[in-house]
Structure 1
Amino acid sequence: MPEHRGLPLIRASRGSAQAAFVTRLALLYARLLGADVTFDPEFGIFVASGMHRGFARGGTTLGGVYLTRRNISRAVLRHEAVHADQWARHGIVFGAKYLYEELRRPGPRNRFEIEAGLADGGYTR
């Protein structure tokens, strides 16, 4: 039986209306940049791969969408799924909170990256 069309969006945004808004924008953004968008049912996130620009480091999660060129190992997707949880928990202001934390404590010192799992995200201390 095919999955209902709206279920991936609800799962990717963790039921949060604000995260769903960001997820919709991120899907549009990814498609405009020519990404191949799939849904990963294990981690409940959209994966926008094949991008050549438009993301930071190895990839960036906006809402429930992970944007990347080809950095899609199971460990990385597990890490990015935690970022999708963070978007749902903090709402639309998560982007600003993350940026502020990144300016204060970049990379592996960022509390949001620590929560997501540094090893899974490919960070070294």
Structure 2
Amino acid sequence: MSRGARKDSGSRLRRASRGSNQSAVITVIALGYAKLWRARIGFDDRYEIYVCSGMRGGFGRAGTTIGGAYLTDTNTALRTIRHESVHADQWARYGASFAIRYLLEERRHPKAGNKFEIEAGLVDGGYTKSSDPRV
């Protein structure tokens, strides 16, 4: 890998982890996990998140964000990426404790009632339908 590619890779990692060191470590682990599941790993510059697609398993629901990496099979619509990028923000805000916080919230208020999903956008996450046909 050239020096420029390494620099760009480091910049992407910082962007995906929102500058959080803890989220950066979690993101690197998530990217390694995605590679084990033979994911195609790209980077979405608009929403500053790694998109690991083509996975045949190893994630929850239609996709899961771990740190700054979104893991999925084929669910790569832009609105989904926008939704998942908010989860990357949450990982950066709470660090590793986000996983526990999310699971506890999911147990109390599942799916569309989960405050983390509400913050990320229920329409973008596919939890509710929009009345606006442009969305």
Distance 2:115 2:97 in 1: 16
Per the TM alignment, residue 119 of structure 1 is displaced from its structure 2 partner at its CA by 0.2
The answer to whether residue 8 in structure 2 is matched with residue 4 in structure 1 is yes
Structure 1 ranges of 4+ moved more than 4 A: none
Letter in 2 for 1:117: G
Letter in 2 for 1:51: M
The answer to whether residue 125 in structure 2 is matched with residue 121 in structure 1 is yes
Distance 2:112 2:38 in 1: 30
Distance 2:89 2:22 in 1: 12
Distance 2:42 2:9 in 1: 13
- Alignment deviations for residues 6-55 of structure 1 (CA, whole Å, 9 cap, x no partner): 10000000000110011000000000110000000000000000001011
Residue aligned with 2:90, SS? helix
Letter in 1 for 2:122: L
Q: Which residue of 1 aligns with 2:50?
A: 46
1:68 to 69, 72, 79: 72
Residue aligned with 1:38, SS? strand
Letter in 1 for 2:80: V
Residue aligned with 2:76, SS? coil
TM-score of the superposed pair, with normalisation by structure 1: 0.96
Letter in 2 for 1:120: D
Q: Which residue of 1 aligns with 2:34?
A: 30
Distance 1:118 1:81 in 2: 13
2:91 to 73, 87, 94: 87
Any unmatched runs of 5+ in structure 1? Answer: none
Residue aligned with 2:43, SS? strand
Any unmatched runs of 5+ in structure 2? Answer: 130-135
Residue aligned with 1:54, SS? coil
Distance 2:44 2:8 in 1: 15
